[in-house]
């Protein structure tokens, strides 16, 4: 009986305490949250953490890695390369409005209207700011294309070597009969050209990044 009475008292006090203090728990136990910060500085121009988050939220860049931390660094690296190239190359390329709208539409369609609206509200941005993200990406791509598309030449020997050493063995490994070289020569050339351009671009960007004034803060 006495134990029951004691337990009853404990029960009453505890319940009262929970009910009384719950409205301010959110405040007492809330931790400071980093809203934004400098992620990198490229030749005096700032890339903020918000820039990275916006790019990630709207999938401006194709992200291949898994964890969020790696994604952020990948996107940051892309933004650094974009800023660097656009600063160095004085380009008069104008990205047509139509192309920008296509990119923005693709991205927002994936997210849906409600989610898009919520992200706009969360980041405090609108359509213009989002278009600017895509504009920089497209401008970067076009500068690269302009610079390297003609310098990557694929010789017949390289195509033959690829056909003999890569394509045929891979088809056989899958249990498939390889198509003739004449049939797929175009595809092989395009793929090899893409690889070459990718290598040239990477080398060029590595040199530029080494010589540029870049500070990464995160």
Q: How far is the CB of 96 from another protein (least distance, A)?
A: 21
Bridge partners (DSSP) listed for residue 47: 40
The answer to whether residue 16 forms part of the interface with another protein (CB under 8 A) is no
Instruction: Select the residue interacting with another protein from 88, 122, 156, 207 (CB under 8 A).
Output: 122
DSSP state for residue 124 in the 8-state scheme: T
List Cα–Cα distances, 30 to 27, 53, 64, 106, 150, in angstroms.
Answer: 5, 22, 33, 37, 56
Q: What is the DSSP string of 71-103?
A: HHHHHHHHHHHHHHHHHHS-------HHHHHHH
d(CA 63, CA 55): 10
Q: Which is nearer to another protein, 124 or 175 (CB)?
A: 124
- Residue 200, token pair as written in the block: 């040239």
Kindly write out the interface string for residues 197-216 of this chain, putting x where it contacts another protein by CB under 8 A and - elsewhere. ----------------xxxx
Positions in 123-182 near another protein (CB under 8 A): 123-125, 129
Stretch that binds another protein, among 4-12, 85-93, 134-142, 158-166 (CB under 8 A): 4-12
The answer to whether residue 38 forms part of the interface with another protein (CB under 8 A) is yes
Helix pair 113-123, 49-57: axis angle to 10 deg: 180
What is the dihedral sign for C-alpha 176, 180, 183, 186? Answer: positive
Q: How far is the CB of 68 from another protein (least distance, A)?
A: 15
**Residue ranges in contact with another protein by CB under 8 A:** 3-5, 7-8, 10-11, 14-15, 18-19, 21-22, 25-27, 29-38, 41, 46, 48, 50-51, 118-119, 121-125, 129, 213-217
């Amino acid at each position: 009986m006495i134990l029951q009475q004691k337990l009853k008292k404990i029960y009453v006090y505890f319940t009262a305490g929970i009910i009384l203090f719950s409205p301010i728990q959110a405040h007492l136990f809330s931790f400071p949250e980093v809203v934004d910060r400098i992620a990198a500085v490229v030749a005096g121009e700032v890339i903020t953490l918000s820039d990275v988050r916006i790019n990630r939220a709207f999938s401006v860049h194709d992200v291949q890695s898994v964890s969020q931390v790696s994604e952020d660094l990948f996107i940051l690296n892309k933004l650094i390369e974009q800023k660097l190239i656009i600063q160095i190359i004085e380009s008069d390329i104008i990205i047509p409005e139509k192309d920008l709208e296509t990119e923005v539409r693709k991205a927002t369609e994936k997210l849906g209207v409600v989610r898009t609206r919520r992200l706009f509200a969360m980041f405090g941005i609108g359509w213009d700011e989002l278009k600017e993200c895509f504009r920089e990406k497209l401008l970067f791509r076009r500068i690269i294309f302009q610079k390297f598309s003609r310098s990557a030449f694929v010789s017949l020997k390289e195509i033959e070597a690829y056909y003999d050493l890569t394509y045929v063995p891979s088809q056989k490994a899958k249990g498939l009969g390889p198509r003739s070289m004449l049939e797929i020569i175009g595809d092989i050339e395009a793929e090899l050209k893409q690889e070459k351009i990718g290598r040239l671009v990477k080398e060029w960007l590595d040199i530029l990044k080494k010589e540029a004034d870049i500070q990464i803060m995160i």
